[in-house]
Amino acid sequence: MERISDLTLRAAHIEDAEAICAITALPGFLRGTLRPPFPAIAGTRKWLESVAPDDLNIVALTAGTLVGNAFCRRFSGRRGHSAELGMGVHDDYCRRGVGAALLGALVDAADRWLAIDRLQLTVFADNAPAKALYEKFGFVLEGVMKRYAFRDGVYVDALCMARLRG
């Protein structure tokens, strides 16, 4: 597949709730998340409204169409040097550079602006493309969580991955 040449990233806006909600309902996107099917726009809007000042929530757009979103949520207290990442890409735009652009922007902001030393994430064990992308950005496997979640009628494992700065 051809990489998207006009991809732009920006902060997510409350007005993006409908578009984000629509992509989270797509089969491939949904399969990689803990979200239940049939997401409600009100829940997505509430999630967008709850972003803390030190957190990042960004979207990727091409030709005015929202094709992905990602977040970086900083922990507090003695874990303030750490943050959790999450992201997803519209089913029709996978493997076209959207995930790499989103992840690259979050890693860059964590390293250069937020002084975050540890980035961590959880990915389903059967999501080989996502795991490969995370590894490209320096994330390493820290552990396996057996029967982590119920998805599509069965329990599935998840991987804990992290990236330490420097």
Q: Is residue 159 part of a domain?
A: no
DSSP notation for 46-60 = HHHHT--TT-EEEEE
Q: What's the CATH number where 65 sits?
A: 3.40.630.30
The pLDDT, as a whole number, for residue 2 is: 87
User: How many independent structural domains does the chain possess?
Assistant: 1
* Residue 30, pLDDT above cutoff 80: yes
The pLDDT, as a whole number, for residue 5 is: 86
The mean pLDDT value for 70-88 works out to 96
Q: Is residue 151 part of a domain?
A: no
Q: Is residue 147 part of a domain?
A: no
Q: What is the pLDDT of residues 82-114, one digit of tens each?
A: 999 999 999 999 999 999 999 999 999 999 999
* Per-residue tokens: 57: 């929530």
Q: What is the pLDDT of residues 114-161, one digit of tens each?
A: 999 999 999 999 999 999 999 999 999 999 999 999 999 999 999 999
Domain that holds residue 93: 8-120
Q: Is residue 16 part of a domain?
A: yes
Q: What is the pLDDT of residues 42-55, one digit of tens each?
A: 999 999 999 888 89
pTM of the predicted model as reported, rounded to 2 decimal places: 0.94
Q: Is residue 155 part of a domain?
A: no
Burial of 75 per CB tally in 10 Å (0-12, 13-18, 19+): middle
